């Protein structure tokens, strides 16, 4: 499989530094519980980024992948945070359990499949963006990676 490469315009908002704590009503009760949600800015970035993923890139890969992201910010101020981009690249579902329905195909099925990441911070004041490259990881024989642990411990 050839690498899947494309560009998403706009700088991603940090998921880690922009979370909000809200009280949510528990369905079917009068009780509420606290929940942590993404900020309005992070949600807006997700919405805009989802529209920019080319149809040909939405291959729903169901195997381990390597993701390379070159994130170009307009300034040095934002933290380098790729998590919202990784979220955007996965399948989107609505509902849960038996009522779970796929509403939008992703580049890969779930971001848990990302086994290797390369994330770079760049500056481009005039054109903040993320350059995305997703590659299928080839299976590797375990015995070729390292010597036998048992012999190393002797």
pLDDT of the residue at 94 = 92
Per the confidence metrics, is the pTM higher than 0.85? Answer: no
pLDDT of the residue at 39 = 80
For residue 41, report the phi and psi dihedrals to the nearest 5 degrees: -65, -40
- Tell me, rounded to whole angstroms, the distance of Cα 17 from its chain centroid: 16
Segments of the chain with pLDDT less than 50: none
pLDDT of the residue at 9 = 97
Q: Which residues of 119-144 are buried (b: 16+ CB within 10 A; e: fewer)?
A: beeeeeeeebbbebebbbeeeeeeee
pLDDT of the residue at 142 = 57
């Amino acid at each position: 499989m050839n690498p899947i490469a494309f560009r998403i315009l706009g700088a991603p908002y940090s998921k880690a530094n922009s979370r909000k704590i809200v009280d949510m009503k528990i369905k079917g009760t009068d009780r509420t519980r606290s929940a942590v949600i993404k900020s309005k800015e992070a949600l807006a970035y997700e919405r805009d980024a989802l529209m920019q993923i080319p149809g040909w890139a939405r291959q729903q890969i169901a195997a381990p992948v390597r993701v390379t992201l070159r994130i170009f910010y307009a300034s040095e101020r934002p933290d380098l945070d790729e998590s919202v981009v990784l979220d955007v690249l996965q399948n989107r579902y609505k509902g849960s359990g038996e009522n779970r329905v796929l509403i939008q195909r992703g580049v890969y099925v779930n971001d848990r499949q990302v086994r290797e990441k390369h994330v770079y911070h760049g500056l481009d004041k005039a054109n903040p963006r993320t350059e995305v490259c997703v590659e299928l990881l080839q299976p590797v024989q375990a015995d070729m990676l390292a010597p036998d642990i048992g012999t190393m411990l002797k």
